[in-house]
Amino acid sequence: MIEIFYNNNSTIDTSQSVDILRTMQLKDVLWIDLFDPEGEEKRAVEDFLGTTLQSRAQAEEIESSSRYSETEDEIFINTNFLIPGPENYDMESVSFILSENTIVSVRQVPLRSFTDIQRRILAGRKGYPTGFHILLGILENRVDMDADMIELMSKEIEQYSKRVSLGENIGDEFVLDINQLQENTMLVRENIVDKQRVISSILKSEKTPDEINAKLSIMLQDISSLINHTNFSFERLEYLQNTVLGLINLEQNKIMKIFTLVSVLLMPPTLIASFYGMNVELPLIGGHWDVIMIGAIMLITVLAVFFIFRRRRML
């Protein structure tokens, strides 16, 4: 699917046909958005730009030179967009090409940041005169969404902390939930750091219009604060995980202590019972009260062991 935004006199129109590119010049096109494009659409855009679009494999490379590069006429940008799910977060690679004042975006999944900017452009807002302004709007929208995700994760961490403080039942599932939240926090941080690297590169570029440099600098400050917040959240999760594991160990120690106590208390009566179970003559055997007397001796030994442990504060 392709969505082409172009200048038509004093307004911005849109088209979903690649045929319109054959009748237009590069300066007239504002934004070409390729969403899960077909081969014909990609070839038409490549012919229009006079360059090659990056493949999905190239967009997912992690080297700095692959994430951002410049030529004499174009700027190539690859960045990740985080897609939150019910439990897990997924990373989706998006490619941008800036050629003069035209921006081309290539993505495989629907993204809310793109939809919001497209809606604003079609609503007649004049804050997007060039492709640089559109890219700035997309990144700004994305950073705001990342901030919202971090806020939601902080609230979720707070709920887990309250559950531990209230002494609720915790177990394997609770630890796995914390581990998944740690994984999500790392993905959010990775996503934000990737935006920081891209925005820093755009800010250093000589092709970037001067009027957006101030906004780029503010976005970098916002991203720095978000990175600090994610670091704090991760440290808080580590502390919470250690606390939960400590409580689980204490619970297991209590159980082992009970089993040990029962074993120690039963050792003397077991020893007495083993003696009187042998086929030899022993004292207190042959009368009518021998069973009661032996049982009393066994009970006395149990009480004696319990008293000794209690007095030494081992219970």
Q: Say which CATH class 254-311 falls into.
A: mainly alpha
More confident residue, 133 or 276: 133
What confidence tens digit (pLDDT) does each residue in 14-62 have?
Answer: 887 878 878 878 787 888 888 888 888 888 888 888 877 776 776 666 6
The Cα 146–Cα 192 span in angstroms is 7
pLDDT band (50, 70, 90) for residue 286: low
| β-pair partners for 33 | 3, 105
Which CATH number does the domain 2-249 belong to among 3.30.70.260, 2.40.50.140, 3.40.50.720, 3.30.460.20? 3.30.460.20
pLDDT at 274 > cutoff 60: yes
The Cα 67–Cα 80 span in angstroms is 10
> What pLDDT sits at residue 62?
60
The Cα 200–Cα 194 span in angstroms is 10
Containing 98, the helix (H) or strand (E) segment is: strand 89-99
The encoded tokens of residue 304 equal: 């004696």
The Cα 38–Cα 251 span in angstroms is 59
Compute and round to an integer the Cα radius of gyration of the chain: 35
The Cα 195–Cα 301 span in angstroms is 72
> What pLDDT sits at residue 58?
67
| β-pair partners for 35 | 107
What is the residue extent of each domain of the chain? 2-249, 254-311
Per-residue pLDDT, averaged over 133-159, amounts to 86
Containing 114, the helix (H) or strand (E) segment is: helix 112-122
pLDDT above 70: percentage of residues in the chain: 87
pLDDT at 285 > cutoff 70: no
The encoded tokens of residue 129 equal: 């005169």
| β-pair partners for 83 | 90
pLDDT at 280 > cutoff 60: no
Please provide the average confidence, as pLDDT, over all residues in the chain.
80
